[in-house]
Structure 1
Amino acid sequence: MYKLALIVPCFNEEENIERTANILLEKLYSLQKDNLINKNSFLVFVDDGSSDKTWEKITHLNTQNPKIRGLSFSKNYGHQTAILAGITNFDYDICIMLDADLQQDIDKFDYMINKHSEGFDVVCGVRNIIKSRSIIKSISAKIFYYLMKILNSNVVPAHNDFRLLSAKVGKELRKFNEKNIYIRGLIPDLGFNQTYFNYKIKERTKGETKYTYKKLFALARDGLLSNSEALLTNLIYLVLFFEILPFPKLIKRMIRIFVSCVVLEVIKDIYVQSRNRPAYIIKEKI
């Protein structure tokens, strides 16, 4: 039987945290009863610098049940960094990460654990199409995944960090200290035995999504810059294409400005990484 860690990043989720904890604890006990996990399995909330009472509720839940653990960041570092912190700061045989709103299908835990028993170190969930998603988000997502495909990225469309990882994969992730890490693109590049499954995503019951357009844009930026070598190579081809062929001067000028902006973003990313500052600071751990 495995020691399972359920990793739940959260940001301003005071409305959901107690309900989420109760549902996930019930699922843990069910998995334990079915002999899929052992009694040392636990649930960890990673508070990504919430400004509400999320952390207060997590600490209160911990006093009621020691199976509930938590990390609190000193400030908001982002969803991907919160996931990384959960993966790298606790000991387990396997871990499963999911969002605090429980839109992912927790009934798939059994399937994910069984797939790990078959020899898979990474088991990823791919969500169905969200009918309620806005047209802007749908089009933006298609453009992003198209660009990632051009950059030869192995990122899987519609995978939103609902995955199981073995301790071996977690050990490798401890070696990474990237500031703007893109977990969704990094894990496929690590290798190991990986498999995917489809699931139906649920509607959010309380609160609102914390992924604003600004945060989605930042996530897309990190995803594209995580493939900076391929990105720069393709920019060279783009510049050559527009410079060699007889395009209007205005078009050529716009392309040069665009390429310059992208290159500056790459340089900024290199500078941030070169300062060798910690990817995050933990204010409290329980």
Structure 2
Amino acid sequence: MTGPGITGSTCTPRTLVSVLVPAYNEEGNVVRCYETIVKVFRQLPDYDYEIIVTDNHSTDRTFPLLEELAAKDPALKVIRFSRNYGYQRSLLTAYQAASGACAIQLDCDLQDPPELIPKMLQLWRIGHQVVYGIRRTLQDGFVIASLRRLYYRFVSFISEDELPVNVGEFRLVDRRILVELQKVTDASPYLRGLISAMGFSQVGLEYDRMGRTEGGSKFPLKSMLSLAVDGVLNHSLLPLRLASIAGLVIGLLSLLLTFVYLVGRLIFGQAWPDGFATTTILLLMSIAINAIFMGILGEYVGRLFLQAKTEIKPIVESQLNFPQVVSLVKNGKQGSE
């Protein structure tokens, strides 16, 4: 398969690169994103491309625009879901549909510059299985940018895996990583951590993240918080350990207060109502301990519930330029290029 405008010798096989673009209500960016990717690959005669756009059931003209583009370019493949399954699950489906020797994830708003693709491919060629973008600067404002950086460092600190700091989803992954991602059926995946935890040779590439030129962010505070919770719970047992520590501390505090009560009662003769102090202390401590344990255990039980559900795979409503309609998550194999 050859993308438009790419020329080269027919005797020399060219390397297929999958470019993965999750999209939701990006009518102002989707055409520009496609054209920018094509322009980059016109300067890479040794590579062919396929662009896989996962449309999270956009309600604007995103999908009709993709239909028009896909009709002209068979290298553009589109997966439209039956509903919005969220950013991470949409992205996982794209990874599992990729048929290239490597895959590069790129946001549709182009805040992560496609112009870095040649540099990523160079680093990949010399033997790195993962090339991830390190956000040197952010366009989110001082408060949000500071919170992001603080979160990255916090997750890296508590994680049992080695997670790079200030890294988003902009990355290149080798085919070996794609093979491992075929096996993932997580209902609440945290891909940046999952890929980092796989190991292999990984290297960072610093860049300045640009601001949006069209439309607004499709990642509101609620989604950010949800992603943050997934990042913590998917890569650390610290919350459970904190529950154990909290229970121990509260138990010791209860013993200390009981000792103070007995000293005051027996030595200093303080006239407290019989049983009042003891009952109050034990009641409050029991409520506190139960609240802590139930809250944290509830997060893990909720994830077990999602994993146990039979309908955890995104439902594909429409596909463009795929050879047949199949479950992309089940097998992850597409027709040959």
Q: TM-score, normalised by structure 2?
A: 0.77
Could you list the per-position Cα deviations for residues 187-230 of structure 1 after superposition, in whole angstroms to 9, with x for gaps in the alignment?
11111111111111111101011110011111112112213544
Match of 1:3 in 2: 16
The 1:140–1:21 alpha-carbon spacing in structure 2 relative to 1, beyond 3 Å, is closer
Larger Rg: 2
Q: What pairs up with 1:19-58 in 2 under 5 angstroms?
A: 19-32=32-45, 35=46, 37-38=47-48, 41-58=49-66
The CA distance in 2 between the partners of 1:149 and 1:111, in whole Å, is 29
The CA distance in 1 between the partners of 2:156 and 2:128, in whole Å, is 25
Which residue, 107, 114, 117 being the options, matches 2:125? 117
Find out whether 1:159 has 2:176 as its counterpart.
no
Find out whether 1:271 has 2:305 as its counterpart.
yes
Match of 1:186 in 2: 194
Q: CA RMSD in A?
A: 2.2
Q: State the Cα distance separating 1:114 from its structure 2 match.
A: 0.9
Could you list the per-position Cα deviations for residues 3-23 of structure 1 after superposition, in whole angstroms to 9, with x for gaps in the alignment?
101100011101111111111
- Secondary structure of 1:284 counterpart: strand
- Mapped contact 2:152–2:166 kept (Cα < 8 A): no
The CA distance in 1 between the partners of 2:181 and 2:292, in whole Å, is 33
The CA distance in 1 between the partners of 2:145 and 2:294, in whole Å, is 26
Match of 1:280 in 2: 314
Match of 1:15 in 2: 28
The 1:103–1:136 alpha-carbon spacing in structure 2 relative to 1, beyond 3 Å, is closer
The 1:154–1:48 alpha-carbon spacing in structure 2 relative to 1, beyond 3 Å, is farther
The CA distance in 1 between the partners of 2:83 and 2:163, in whole Å, is 28
- Mapped contact 1:124–1:159 kept (Cα < 8 A): yes
Q: State the Cα distance separating 1:258 from its structure 2 match.
A: 3.6
- Secondary structure of 1:156 counterpart: coil
The CA distance in 2 between the partners of 1:268 and 1:121, in whole Å, is 33
The CA distance in 1 between the partners of 2:144 and 2:251, in whole Å, is 32
Q: What pairs up with 1:62-77 in 2 under 5 angstroms?
A: 62-77=70-85
- Mapped contact 2:138–2:145 kept (Cα < 8 A): no
Question: Which stretch of the first structure deviates more once superposed, 172-181 or 157-166?
Answer: 157-166
Letter in 2 for 1:284: S
- Mapped contact 2:78–2:319 kept (Cα < 8 A): yes
- Mapped contact 1:25–1:43 kept (Cα < 8 A): no
The 1:252–1:200 alpha-carbon spacing in structure 2 relative to 1, beyond 3 Å, is farther
Calculate percent identity across the aligned residue pairs: 25
Letter in 2 for 1:9: P
Q: For structure 2, which runs of at least 5 residues remain unmatched after alignment?
A: 1-13, 258-280, 321-337
Question: Which stretch of the first structure deviates more once superposed, 145-154 or 23-32?
Answer: 145-154
Q: State the Cα distance separating 1:55 from its structure 2 match.
A: 1.1
- Secondary structure of 2:44 counterpart: helix
Find out whether 1:260 has 2:294 as its counterpart.
yes
Could you list the per-position Cα deviations for residues 234-253 of structure 1 after superposition, in whole angstroms to 9, with x for gaps in the alignment?
43223323432469966885
- Secondary structure of 1:184 counterpart: helix
- Secondary structure of 2:15 counterpart: coil
Match of 2:234 in 1: 226
The 1:166–1:130 alpha-carbon spacing in structure 2 relative to 1, beyond 3 Å, is same
Q: TM-score, normalised by structure 1?
A: 0.90
Aligned residues: 281
- Mapped contact 1:151–1:231 kept (Cα < 8 A): no
- Mapped contact 1:243–1:252 kept (Cα < 8 A): no
The CA distance in 1 between the partners of 2:148 and 2:95, in whole Å, is 29
Q: For structure 1, which runs of at least 5 residues remain unmatched after alignment?
A: none
The CA distance in 1 between the partners of 2:142 and 2:227, in whole Å, is 18
The 1:88–1:147 alpha-carbon spacing in structure 2 relative to 1, beyond 3 Å, is closer
The CA distance in 2 between the partners of 1:151 and 1:240, in whole Å, is 23
Could you list the per-position Cα deviations for residues 101-128 of structure 1 after superposition, in whole angstroms to 9, with x for gaps in the alignment?
0011222111111111111111100112
